[in-house]
Amino acid sequence: MSQNTQGMTREGALRLEYFIIGLGIFALILIFQPFTVTLFTIGSILVVLAGLINNLLPMAQPGVKVRSVITVGMVVAMIFCIVLLVAITAAHLYGVFFLKPPDPNTQMGKIQLATPPFWQQSLVWGIAAVAVVLAGLITMMSKSKD
């Protein structure tokens, strides 16, 4: 299979399609198994991942270059990071405008007031960094097309 000139073969496209669909089915099996909460947690994470990867299903066609599939996957990941940042910001603004401020006289209020604002959290900056790196990689890949 020459990925640079001809793209995926029919078998490669079929394998990609089966992988995408199989991941979703496996995630659902993990969610609905009755044995352990750990497998439920893994299944829940895999359902989100499978939903994102499901966007690659239209690319599972013979002749589509693997580079195109990777580029589309990075675009989906970048959009997910941006949506995640918007959701975190919306949750913060909801708390600011619609919830009662924390009471500094209670233990929970002291903990909430000691927590740094969301824009100072390392998770938020990590997500933003991933989005910026993905945007840069997508730009570089689109400029260096064969």
Supply the pTM of this predicted model: 0.79
Residues 6+ apart with CB under 8 A from 82: 131
Q: Which residues of the chain have pLDDT under 50?
A: 1-3
pLDDT for residue 2:
43
pLDDT for residue 5:
60
pLDDT for residue 27:
95
pLDDT for residue 137:
93
pLDDT for residue 3:
41
